A = this chain, B = another copy of it.
Amino acid sequence: MAKVKCQMSISLDGFAAGANQGEEHPLGEGGESLHEWLVKLPSFNEAHGRPGEGEGADNPSDAVFREAAQNTGATVMGRNMFGPVRGEWGDSDWRGWWGEEPPFHSPVYVLTHHEREPLEMQGGTTFHFVTEGVERAVELARESAGERDVAIGGGAATVQQCLRAGLLDELLINIAPALLGDGERLLDGLGGLDASFEPLRAVAGPEATHLLYRVAR
- Residues of A near any B CB (own CB < 8 A): 12-14, 30, 175, 177-182, 185, 187-193, 195-213
Contact = CB atoms under 8 A, between A and B. Distances in A.
A5 B124 CA distance: 50
Given A14-B185, A185-B13, A187-B13, A177 B199 contact: yes
12 contacts: A12-B187, A13-B14, A14-B14, A179-B191, A180-B191, A182-B191, A199-B206, A199-B207, A202-B202, A202-B210, A202-B211, A204-B211
Contact of A177 (B12, B182, B213): B213
A13 B186 CA distance: 8
Contact of A14 (B187, B195, B210): B187
Contact of A196 (B177, B196, B213): B177
Given A14-B14, A199-B205, A202-B210, A193 B179 contact: yes
A203 B206 contact: no
A196 B190 CA distance: 29
Q: How many copies does the complex hold?
A: 2
B199 A202 contact: no
A204 B205 contact: no
Given A13-B14, A14-B14, A193-B179, A199 B188 contact: no
A209 B211 contact: yes
4 nearest CB pairs, A to B = A181-B191, A177-B197, A202-B204, A202-B202
Nearest to A183: B191
A68 to B, nearest CB: 15
B197 A12 contact: yes
Contacts of A178: 197
Contacts of A203: 202
A208 B197 CA distance: 10
Contact of A190 (B13, B187, B206, B213): B13
Nearest to A187: B13
Contacts of A13: 14, 185, 187-188, 190-191
A25 to B, nearest CB: 14
B190 A179 contact: yes
